[in-house]
Amino acid sequence: MATGQLFSRTTQALFYNYKQLPIQRMLDFDFLCGRETPSVAGIINPGSEGFQKLFFGQEEIAIPVHASIEAACAAHPTADVFINFASFRSAAASSMSALKQPTVRVVAIIAEGVPESDTKQLIAYARANNKVVIGPATVGGIQAGAFKIGDTAGTIDNIIHCKLYRPGSVGFVSKSGGMSNELYNTIGRVSDGIYEGIAIGGDVFPGSTLSDHVLRFNNIPQVKMIVVLGELGGRDEYSLVEALKQGKVTKPVVAWVSGTCARLFKSEVQFGHAGAKSGGEMESAQAKNQALKDAGAVVPTSYEALEAAIKETFDKLVEEGKIMPVKEITPPPIPEDLNSAIKSGKVRAPTHIISTISDDRGEEPCYAGVPMSSIVEKGFGVGDVISLLWFKRSLPRYCTQFIEICIMLCADHGPCVSGAHNTIVTARAGKDLVSSLVSGLLTIGPRFGGAIDDAARYFKDAHDRGLTPYEFVENMKKKGIRVPGIGHRIKNRDNKDKRVELLQKFARTHFPSVKYMEYAVQVEAYTLTKANNLVLNVDGAIGSLFLDLLAGSGMFTKQEIDEIVEIGYLNGLFVLARSIGLIGHTFDQKRLKQPLYRHPWEDVLYTK
């Protein structure tokens, strides 16, 4: 492996399996370091394409999302680092696919639990093709002031505290990602900081070893000293011992192997990493520390003494003139995300939407404060749900039953009415369900099904002002307004609408008061003296009875009733009900595989 520097200020990566936080942390690090271009060139989300919006400093940017590794590599040929956030189940396959791409040079595998046999295949392929694998089970790596992988070094505050926004003189490599963060802090306190840091991962077979990276650091002129943090288990550290003995490493090495406490246990102990398990004396922390010391590394007497050993080695290099003091810079402030700023109480921001009818933030959705489980357990029906979502209160059962009856009675009125006709024509044109439904709904208005609100409004106004049916009808006539809720193309005095009769019967049986309905019946009696078809239609029946429901329930103020009528609640009932029928007509036409509709010539009057 050897060679030299892995990353630079122009390095770009492809990020596999979208994770918002680690990508944003990479971009924040880029901005902190003063990079001109983001380090994430593209995102790979198998099966999906598009863009993901993230921040590069104050600016919001769109990062391309690709459906495959091949497509991403073709679109971003200069992105030579592959950061793999796939699960352990697919990490090996996706990593091998990336390694086989000619543009990919480094693959970092974050997942723990990748099968050892798969890892061995990745290692063999990488070595045969002069590529680098970091991990599995790694947090990644970082080149200070240039590039970092995923969550390496943690938060921006920690990165600033560890001086990682600009390069130092120390090359650092460890097995543990968590301990690497600790050592970045330590090295930042007692030296000019990290130049490059790598966590190789805690698995038994890491894609690259401690000695691989130490030898690489030895070839990087900017790295003046090397810090190594190993751990008990395995024999990786002995390859570093051999490299030291053979003189392959010419720079000072400060090393410590963790796990010396293992001897205090009577039986063999498995520490956090898969590879952190001593398989014999040679794999103990004590034996490794002694071997490193004998080979020429600076090895302290304990982990607590590691900081002093690093400081002493660094100070000596400064005295010898091998390290020149780094000029400190002030990194730019990273704009804080709005959500975190709001949570911390630093800012307040206006909301964009107000909702009073439902809430999905808790353990389960709530309708007007009533949990979904309670709605189901209490046996609520569609009428109860409408009462909660439309009226924000739980209405008495007779009210919700009336709502359900209205929906049932208005669900459909045959294929010849305008709404159904439009839906049928649209469905036969091969359009989808939503398009067919909407084409029918768009016909609802003053002339078709949309007169419920107007009927309620005019009946209420006339009743409350004490107008007689004669005065009401004649006043409407003078204004040139047809009485909403009165009149039918088919029904008449001798063939009244059965739906109206059913609604009236239910109301007289269950409603405390039906004063508005009775007024509408009186209006009908007068209009029938003018024409045989000026009967109370279903719009007028629902409009007047809904007024009785609202007034008689005692749960609404006069102002609330007026508002309900004005907003269009009652027409909402017709829209909801008729949607059931229009959907049915759509399915019916598609089930029957009906062809495109063309209106017959003989049904058109062609005239000049």
Mean per-residue pLDDT, 181-205? 95
Is 213 noted as a catalytic residue in this protein?
A: no
pLDDT given for residue 276 in this prediction: 47
Q: Prior bond to 136 cis, omega within 30? A: yes
Most confident option among 6-10, 235-239, 489-493? 6-10
The distance of Cα 247 from the centroid of its chain, to the nearest Å, equals: 53
Which residue ranges form the domains of the chain, and what is each CATH number?
A: 12-320 (3.40.50.261), 411-592 (1.10.230.10)
Mean pLDDT score across all residues of the chain: 93
Q: At 254, is the pLDDT very low, low, confident or very high (cuts 50, 70, 90)?
A: very high
Residue 493's contacts (CB-CB under 8 Å, 6 or more residues apart) are 528, 532, 533, 535
How many Cβ atoms are within 10 Å of 82's Cβ, its own excluded?
A: 28
- Scan for tokens 């003139």, then name that residue: 321
Nearest-10 Cα torsion for 553, 558, 564, 566: 150
- Alpha-carbon distances, residue 539 vs 269, 272, 420, 480 (angstroms): 80, 72, 17, 20
pLDDT digits (tens, 9 = 90+) for 382-408: 999 999 999 999 999 999 999 999 999
The span from the CA of 212 to the CA of 200, in Å, is 10
- Residue (of 116, 85, 88, 87) closest to 14 by Cα position: 85
Q: At 447, is the pLDDT very low, low, confident or very high (cuts 50, 70, 90)?
A: confident
Nearest-10 Cα torsion for 271, 273, 275, 280: -10
pLDDT digits (tens, 9 = 90+) for 496-534: 999 999 999 999 999 999 999 999 999 999 999 999 999
pLDDT digits (tens, 9 = 90+) for 306-356: 999 999 999 999 999 999 988 888 999 998 888 888 888 888 888 889 999
Q: At 194, is the pLDDT very low, low, confident or very high (cuts 50, 70, 90)?
A: very high
The span from the CA of 484 to the CA of 527, in Å, is 12
pLDDT given for residue 263 in this prediction: 57
Mean per-residue pLDDT, 551-576? 92
Mean per-residue pLDDT, 235-260? 94
pTM, two decimal places = 0.70
Mean per-residue pLDDT, 374-381? 95
pLDDT given for residue 502 in this prediction: 95
pLDDT given for residue 275 in this prediction: 47
The span from the CA of 531 to the CA of 524, in Å, is 10
pLDDT given for residue 1 in this prediction: 58
Percent of residues, the chain, with pLDDT higher than 70: 96
Name which of 45-54, 349-358, 433-442, 589-598 the model is least confident about. 349-358
The span from the CA of 580 to the CA of 584, in Å, is 6
pLDDT given for residue 448 in this prediction: 80
Q: Which two tokens stand for residue 525?
A: 């009696």
pLDDT given for residue 2 in this prediction: 60
pLDDT digits (tens, 9 = 90+) for 39-69: 999 999 998 999 999 999 999 999 999 999 9
The span from the CA of 35 to the CA of 41, in Å, is 13
pLDDT digits (tens, 9 = 90+) for 475-501: 999 999 999 999 998 899 999 999 999
Position 177 pLDDT exceeds 50 = yes
Q: At 259, is the pLDDT very low, low, confident or very high (cuts 50, 70, 90)?
A: confident
Q: Which two tokens stand for residue 405?
A: 């009856």
The span from the CA of 329 to the CA of 34, in Å, is 11
- Among residues 76, 213, 273, 585, which one is catalytic? 273
- For 543, counting Cβ atoms within 10 Å of its Cβ (0-12 exposed, 13-18 middle, 19+ buried), the class is buried
Mean per-residue pLDDT, 159-168? 96
* 583 within 8 A of 433, measured Cβ to Cβ: yes
- Scan for tokens 């109860």, then name that residue: 384
pLDDT digits (tens, 9 = 90+) for 88-113: 999 999 999 999 999 999 999 999 99
Three-state secondary structure call for residue 227: strand
pLDDT given for residue 261 in this prediction: 62
Position 272 pLDDT exceeds 60 = no
pLDDT given for residue 327 in this prediction: 84
Position 438 pLDDT exceeds 80 = yes
Strand partners, 230: 257
